[in-house]
């Protein structure tokens, strides 16, 4: 009996957090069934959680089917932690428009659209700016590209440093505005 109580206390105190893209799955791909099974076995001993830059629906596509994800993990931190779930319930949601204000948000979006309009790429697809609760996901090729097109862009980006230059331009344009810019995987 005492061992069971101690095991339950240990489970409550330990949280193993895993990144989604590039750790649990290749970027934007589904989780391997063996990895999923391992995580559920681990969950019997400790609490487990996932954190990802994507919104909840994209994390759910990668790690399970719909609301199954918030049942399979004790914690889900979507959109880089700005949307938080604990034991299947929404805990908190931060919004970029509340943080930045509408004027700065529009300045940022307009700058990005203007910058990307001038880029010459082999291909461009839809959804260049994905508006999420706590961030903007900006994609010069477009989020609607296929995996093959994403790989092609990634190879070009390694040579031309397209995203690196874009981030540098954003940092210059919005210096002192309290914004952070980063590049994702591939």
Under DSSP, is residue 43 helix (H, G, I), strand (E, B) or coil?
helix
Q: Give yes or no: 19 in active site.
A: yes
* Residue list for the binding site for alpha-D-mannose 1-phosphate: 28, 132, 143, 150
Q: Which residues pair with 17 in a beta bridge?
A: 49
Under DSSP, is residue 144 helix (H, G, I), strand (E, B) or coil?
coil
Phi, psi of 117 (to 5 degrees): -65, -25
* Residue list for the binding site for Mg(2+): 19, 21
Q: Give yes or no: 21 in active site.
A: yes
Which structure tokens are listed for 15? Answer: 């949280």
CA distance 164 to 36: 34
Asked if 4 and 123 count as a contact pair (C-beta separation under 8 A), the reply is no
Query: What DSSP element (H or E) covers 49?
Result: strand 47-51
Q: Which of 21, 55, 74, 157 is catalytic?
A: 21
Dihedral over Cα of 30, 80, 160, 143: its sign:
positive
* Residue list for the binding site: 19, 21, 28, 132, 143, 150
Catalytic residues: 19, 21
């Amino acid at each position: 009996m005492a061992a069971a109580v101690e095991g339950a206390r240990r489970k409550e105190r330990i949280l193993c957090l895993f990144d989604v893209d590039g750790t649990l799955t290749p970027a934007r791909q589904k989780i391997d069934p063996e990895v999923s099974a391992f995580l559920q076995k681990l969950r019997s001993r400790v609490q487990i959680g996932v954190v990802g830059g994507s919104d909840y629906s994209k994390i759910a596509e990668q790690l399970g089917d719909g609301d199954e994800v918030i049942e399979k993990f004790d914690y889900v931190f979507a959109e880089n932690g700005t949307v938080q779930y604990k034991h299947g319930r929404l805990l908190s949601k931060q919004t970029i428009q509340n943080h930045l204000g509408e004027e700065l948000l529009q300045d940022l979006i307009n700058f990005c659209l203007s910058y990307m309009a001038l880029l010459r790429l082999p291909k461009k697809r839809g959804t260049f700016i994905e508006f999420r609760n706590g961030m903007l996901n900006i994609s010069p090729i477009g989020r609607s590209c296929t995996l093959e097109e994403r790989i092609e862009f990634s190879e070009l980006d390694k040579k031309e440093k397209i995203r690196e230059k874009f981030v540098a331009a954003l940092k210059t344009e919005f210096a002192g505005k309290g914004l952070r810019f980063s590049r994702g995987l591939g």
